[in-house]
Amino acid sequence: SKLRSRKRKIIAMLIIGVVLAIGAALVGTASKQLIAASKHYRKNSLFHLGAFLNLAVGPVLDASAYAFAPSVVVAPLACLDVILNAITAPHTLYWQNEKLTRAHVIGVCLVTAGAICTSFFAEVREGAMSVYDLERQLFFRPVSLAYFALEVTLVLSLVGLLKRSSLADRPAARGIALGVAAGVLMGHVFF
């Protein structure tokens, strides 16, 4: 009975964490679309509301999610912002003539697969790490150093490609390069 009670408590906390993370994604999507709409409708109040949601409400919901569920569950849900925007923007920001294209659907599927893989293959540890443990794990393991070197090389290569005029004629390749660079950099938000 104590074990059942503990399991129920853990499941309830996970559900609360997931709901908070989904709420943060919803608020994030709405806030960015309000900011975009403020320019179209020429209403500063929409901009201020969007900025408030984006800078205050969303981060509070996001941080609260981590209090209830492990980061391995919560962090991948941050991609919902991108998915929700891809799905809703063609309707809510209709004046931008956005269309949900096949490329968008493929991108959404790839982002979703990445989030699922992150949750599925991530290592879960009980307890908190000290600053020294975290420092040892991030900066002194050969695999961590190789990962950082690969990331820096990748981002610098993408920046170099983006500066070349050849990508200006290929918007799909430019979009992929920007998406990869943003994804790599955004991945460090949770560390």
pLDDT band at 78 (very low <50, low <70, confident <90, very high): confident
pLDDT band at 187 (very low <50, low <70, confident <90, very high): low
pLDDT band at 170 (very low <50, low <70, confident <90, very high): confident
SS (H, E, C) the chain: CHHHHHHHHHHHHHHHHHHHHHHHHHHHHHHHHHHHHHHHHCCHHHHHHHHHHHHHHHHHHHHHHHHHCCHHHHHHHHHHHHHHHHHHHHHHCHHHCCCCCHHHHHHHHHHHHHHHHHHHHCCCCCCCCCHHHHHHHHHCCHHHHHHHHHHHHHHHHHHHHHHCHHHCCCHHHHHHHHHHHHHHHHHHHHC
Q: pLDDT tens digits for 22-70?
A: 999 999 999 999 999 999 999 999 999 999 999 999 999 998 998 898 8
Q: pLDDT tens digits for 91-117?
A: 999 998 888 888 888 888 888 888 777
